[in-house]
Chains A and B, each alone.
Chain A
Amino acid sequence: MIAHVAAADERSGRVVLWHGGSASVSRIAIDAAMLLAQSFQAEVESLYVEDTQLFDLAAFPFARVIGASGGSWRALPHETLEREMRFAAAAFHRQVAEVGSDASVPCRSRIVRDEPLRAVSRACAENGPWNLVVLGEPLTPSDGPRLAQLFERVRDTTGAVITGPLGRRSQGSVVAVVEDFQRLGPMLRAAQRLAPACGGDVKLTLVGDRRDELSWMEGEARLLCATGREDDVIAFESVLAANDDPAPLAAVLQRYKPGFALAQYGGRLVATGASLRPLTAALECPLLLVR
């Protein structure tokens, strides 16, 4: 499965719903995994990774842990860590299974004890390269480097779906933010496949740093859309972005209130390794970042 070259006769990929072992789970991320699986006739594999580094830490006598909302430090022995991970994994898998059952999406679950990105990479390699990784935990502004590592180290994937702490919606329009004309066709088709499951139309946002470039892109996009089905409703918007500021694109996501969004990883909206603050402050829906 791949977002930008997906076709009906291709070998089906998987949606790998990855939980990295923190205390939080994003329900919107689980919904996004199901929407993708429905749209691309794929299955969902929920992957809980028991981070081996935490076990290395637990071996120290001074290993301690404190709740994310405060409290006091308590010891973190190996057994406790293992038990907590087991409970967290069971809860995660149960939640995914329930949502999958409601959405009639086949789901598998797996617990792996490994270094997290290596575990995801291996999971994707098993049935690659048409996988999509959905991050099961909402991203924080400081997760930019983590996301960069994901795109760098997990090769057998066409993209990753992220959610932010303000995630609240997975139904509505599908907004595709296209910064590179080469990706217009695949992203448009991916948006069109997602739109029925999301219950909305497609909105195409073209981004360029010159007016003539934007006009040309829009013309090509309209030509591309004219060959599609007549009942496809596509709205166009052009955003002139003279610099790398992600704010105008984040504002587009806020304004449209989409149920799903697509963008290019490494572009203006999500620059490689940059702070995710502008995005997480605006993102209310799942965002599929394509390579």
Chain B
Amino acid sequence: MFFKLFKSDKSKAAEAPSDSSSSEQAVAEKPAEADGEPGLPLGAYMDSAGATVADSLGFNTTADLKPADGPLGQEKAIESIDFAAGIKGPGYHLLVVGPTGSGRRTVARARLQPAADKSARPSDWAYVSSFDPTGGFRALKLPSGTAKRFAEMMARAIDQLADALPAAFTADDYDLKRRTIEEEFRFSREDALESLRREAEAQNIALLRTPAGIAVAPVLEGKVVKTDVFNSVPEVLRREVETKIAALEAEIEAILTERPEAEKERRARLVALNEQVAGRHVRAALDEIKADFAEVAGVESYLKAAARDLVRNAAMFVSGATGSSGAQAARVSASHPSFARYLVHVLATSSEGSGAPIIHEQNPTYANLFGRIELGTAADGSTQVVRIKHGALHRANGGFLLVDGDALIDSPAAADALRRALEADEIRFDPPAGPVGAVGDEVPDLEPIPLNLRLVVFANAGTQRRLAASFPGLRRLLKVEAVFDHAVDRTKETVDTFARIVAGVVDKQNLRPIDAAGVALLIDEAAHRAGSTRKLSLLIGDVIDVCREADHWADTEKRKTISAADVERALKQRRAINAAELAEAS
């Protein structure tokens, strides 16, 4: 609550003619005398009553001034920020302390930007499937700015295979080869059965086909023996026939069911055939990616694993043959969930000409800092990853991450995880709650990504204390402290700079120029807020609001310039609002 009623009669100043031709020099010398402290550069542009003399400011309107966007004073804080931005090596995280409205965020960002611009673009990172039974993901480090292209090329390759593989697997040649293998397997079984059939025939026993399979019967001259005939032969013979039948049944059962070696060979031959057919297309689809990223460590091994998996699961690309000829098959879209495991999840990437990133995360929850995993259900009912979304840590890696201390304190789990990440220098996905769509503990493993960033936390004095009390470990990591003052001494230089900052606000907000008297009122307000006519408040946040509201009143009066009356009206309105808020609070 800064806008207390001012003791001096501001209306007089507001009504005073803005005659800039009057003696600037005489008034400029007055303040020191008025305070009885000659020689000190305090109370610049001030009359004996402590009010700023508009005529002495040296301009008619802010349009005459070169706009400035600050900062005003804050040399020590700036020095600390520059130190943290420039020092090499990890661990020098920054705590920026200052009251709200002190411009700490703007200043910090402005000071970090040159350091970020000078820094090299960080590498891109992407998560790709490890194609192992764990269903985990490996982190792939890619050259700056190439991750998206890598992901797009991989998606194109899958798309290409979605066209090529169904055609290959429904081609006559493939089908014939596959069925030949199957039939050879069957032929070998039938050869064994045929051999058994001949052996049985020699013993007057026949193998018969029934609707349910194969049966064994005693025969005589090619015909099944009738029961009455069979029963008429001596029991010894009957027993002998039954024994032979039982033995044949055992052999038939062995032929039909117990042929692991033949079955193994059949499977091996089918796998080899599939690999031969699918492998050719898979290699062709991945060749371009392999060539483009040949120098990147890890890409070749990933592509090899992906190729193996694609060949092994080539059947996924064919939704199923239809018709008796078996020659038609529907194309499966490349965006089908079945292909989710071939997605490249881009976590961090940078664009041409950018340096190190500066990311301000306003809501530092765990998901916003560390990213999140979205799960879906695969065709076989299992859980699969459909998306890995990056967090602020991924985007800021290699640069600066800016967070608000208050928001961090409100997310204790995220604050603890952030501390662990900074201590370990790695982004490890270990969420306090399950990801979207997760069932039970089916959260896939993500390989940790090396972390190299500078954390910048903004806090006021109260937040600083709470941070130290609640998260001492994190507070210890913030080795560099930049403290923003709330006021500076009122000197000619600081007043001039203040006026130029007001000009900067006008310029940025596209407002009408403010005349000197209006600026003088703003200077007096800053002095009032600093609690002394010898000081100027650095809390310029509300200055912007006052300027915009004054611009509105000038517009209402159809003035081309914002006058002192407009500023005064805006200030009064703001004082009334603040008084009401105070009353409500009390």
Task: Scan residues 106-122 of chain A and give those whose CB is less than 8 A from a CB of chain B.
Answer: none
Per the bound structure, the CA–CA distance linking A62 and B238 in Å amounts to 11
A128 at the interface (CB under 8 A from B): no
A270 to B183, alpha carbons, bound, how many Å? 20
Q: Name which residue of chain A comes closest to B175, CB basis.
A: A168
A70 touches B256 (CB 8 A): yes
User: Roughly how many angstroms separate A88 CA and B211 CA in the complex, as a whole number?
Assistant: 7
Query: What are 14 A-B pairs at a CB distance below 8 A?
Result: A22-B211, A23-B209, A53-B217, A54-B210, A56-B227, A65-B212, A67-B213, A67-B256, A73-B249, A76-B210, A88-B211, A140-B190, A257-B172, A280-B183
**Which of B180, B226, B227, B252 is the one whose CB lies under 8 Å from A281?**
B180
What is the CB-to-nearest-CB distance from B433 to chain A, in angstroms, rounded to a whole number?
49
Known: A62-B242, A73-B253. A165 touches B186 (CB 8 A): yes
Are B210 and A81 within 8 A (Cβ)? yes
Interface check A291, CB cutoff 8 A: no
Contact A166–B183 (Cβ < 8 Å): yes
Residue contact B325 to A169, C-beta cutoff 8 Å: yes
A89 vs chain B, min Cβ distance (A) = 9
Q: How far apart are A81's CB and chain B's nearest CB, in angstroms?
A: 7
Asked if A57 meets B183 with Cβ closer than 8 Å, knowing A20-B209, A141-B190, A166-B176, the reply is no
Measured CA separation A154–B229 after assembly (Å):
29
A71–B257 CB distance below 8 A: yes
Cβ of B214 within 8 Å of any chain A Cβ, yes or no, is: yes
Interface string of B143-187 (1 = CB under 8 A from A): 000000000000000000000000000001001100110010011
List chain A residues, Cβ under 8 A from B179: 165-166, 168
Let me know if A93 is at the binding interface, CB within 8 A: no
Q: Contacts of A182 on B, CB cut-off 8 Å?
A: none
Given A27-B324, A57-B217: A67 touches B212 (CB 8 Å cut-off): yes
A60 adjacent to chain B (CB < 8 Å): yes
Nearest CB in chain B: distance from A147 CB, A: 15
Q: Which residues of B contact A85 (CB under 8 A)?
A: 211
A166 surroundings in chain B (CB, below 8 A)? 176, 179-180, 183
Interface size range of chain A in the complex: 35 or more
B215 CB-CB contact with A under 8 Å: yes
Residues of B within 8 A of A237 (CB): none
> How many angstroms between the C-alpha atoms of A68 and B186 in the bound complex?
11
Known contacts: A56-B224, A56-B227, A165-B183. The answer to whether A70 contacts B257 by CB under 8 A is yes
Chain A 162-203, CB-CB to B under 8 Å as 1, else 0, gives: 000110111100000000000000000000000000000000
CB distance from B198 to the nearest CB of A (A): 9
Q: Does B230 contact A (CB under 8 A)?
A: yes
CB of A153, distance to nearest CB on chain B (Å)? 13
Q: Which residue of B lies closest to A277 (CB)?
A: B187
Chain B facing A: main interface SS: helix
Contact across chains for B180 and A59 when beta carbons are under 8 A apart: no
Tell me which residues across on chain B come within 8 A of A60, comparing CB atoms.
Answer: 217-218, 227, 230
Pair B249/A64 contact, Cβ less than 8 Å: yes
Separation of A257 and B173 alpha carbons in the complex (Å): 11
Which residue on chain A has the smallest CB distance to residue B216? A64
Contacting B at CB under 8 A, from A12-71, are: 20-23, 27-28, 31, 51, 53-54, 56-57, 59-60, 62-71
How many whole Å from A173's CB to the nearest CB in chain B?
A: 14
Q: Give chain B residues whose Cβ lies under 8 Å from the Cβ of A216.
A: none
Identity of the chain A residue whose Cβ is nearest the Cβ of B226 in the assembled complex: A56
A243 at the interface (CB under 8 A from B): no
Does B326 sit within 8 A of A, measured CB to CB? yes
Q: Does B341 contact A (CB under 8 A)?
A: no
Least Cβ distance of A53 to chain B in Å?
Answer: 4
Query: Per-residue 0/1 for A254-280: is the Cβ within 8 Å of any B Cβ (1 yes, 0 no)?
Result: 000100000000000000000001001
The one of B213, B226, B230 in contact with A65, judged by C-beta atoms closer than 8 angstroms, is: B213
New contact pairs (7) apart from A56-B217, A69-B256, CB-CB < 8 Å: A21-B211, A53-B223, A57-B208, A65-B213, A66-B252, A165-B186, A281-B180
Could you say which residues of chain B place their CB within 8 Å of the CB of A21? Answer: 209-211
Alpha-carbon separation in the docked complex, A57 to B223 (Å): 10
* In the complex, chain A residues whose CB is within 8 Å of the CB of B176: 166, 284
B215, B217, B253 pick with most chain A CB within 10 angstroms: B215
Chain A residues lying within 8 Å of B194, measured Cβ to Cβ, are: 141-142
> B257 contacts which chain A residues (CB < 8 A)?
70-71
Q: Give the residues in chain B near A165, CB-CB below 8 Å.
A: 179, 183, 186
Confirm or deny: A232 has a beta carbon within 8 angstroms of a beta carbon on chain B.
Answer: no
Question: How far does the alpha carbon of A65 sit from the alpha carbon of B212 in the complex, in Å?
Answer: 7
A66-B256, A165-B186, A166-B183 are known contacts. Are A54 and B213 too (CB-CB below 8 A)?
A: no
Q: In whole angstroms, how far apart are the Cα atoms of A142 and B225 in the complex?
A: 23
Is there a chain B Cβ closer than 8 Å to A87's Cβ? Answer: yes
A72 cross-chain contacts in B, Cβ below 8 A: 253
Q: For B324, what are the chain A residues with a Cβ–Cβ distance below 8 Å?
A: 27-28, 31, 168, 170
Task: Please tell me if the beta carbons of A54 and B215 are within 8 angstroms of each other in the complex.
Answer: yes
- Cβ proximity bits B238-252 to A, threshold 8 Å, 1 near / 0 not: 000010011001001
CA of A215 to CA of B550, assembled, Å: 111
Tell me, in angstroms, the Cα distance from A28 to B325 when the chains sit together: 9
A57 contacts B212, CB within 8 Å?
no
- Chain A residues, CB < 8 A from B325: 168-171
Contact of A220 with B by CB under 8 A: no
Let me know if B197 is at the binding interface, CB within 8 A.
yes
Q: A84 at the A/B interface (Cβ < 8 Å)? A: yes
Question: Bound complex: CA of A71 vs CA of B187, how far in Å?
Answer: 19
Whether A68 contacts B180 by the Cβ 8 Å rule is no
Contact flag A141-B242 (CB < 8 Å), given A70-B256, A284-B176: no
B217 vs chain A, min Cβ distance (A): 4
- Provide the bound-state CA to CA distance between A51 and B212, in Å: 13
Within the complex, the shortest CB–CB distance from A22 to chain B, in Å, comes to: 4
How does the 8 Å CB contact mask read for B44-60 relative to A, with 1 for contact and 0 for none? 00000000000000000
Q: Is the CB of A70 within 8 A of B326?
A: no
Q: Which residues of B contact A284 (CB under 8 A)?
A: 176
Residues in chain B near residue A76, CB distance under 8 A: 210, 212, 215
- Within the complex, the shortest CB–CB distance from B207 to chain A, in Å, comes to 10
> Given A66-B252, A140-B190, are A53 and B224 also a contact pair (CB < 8 Å)?
yes
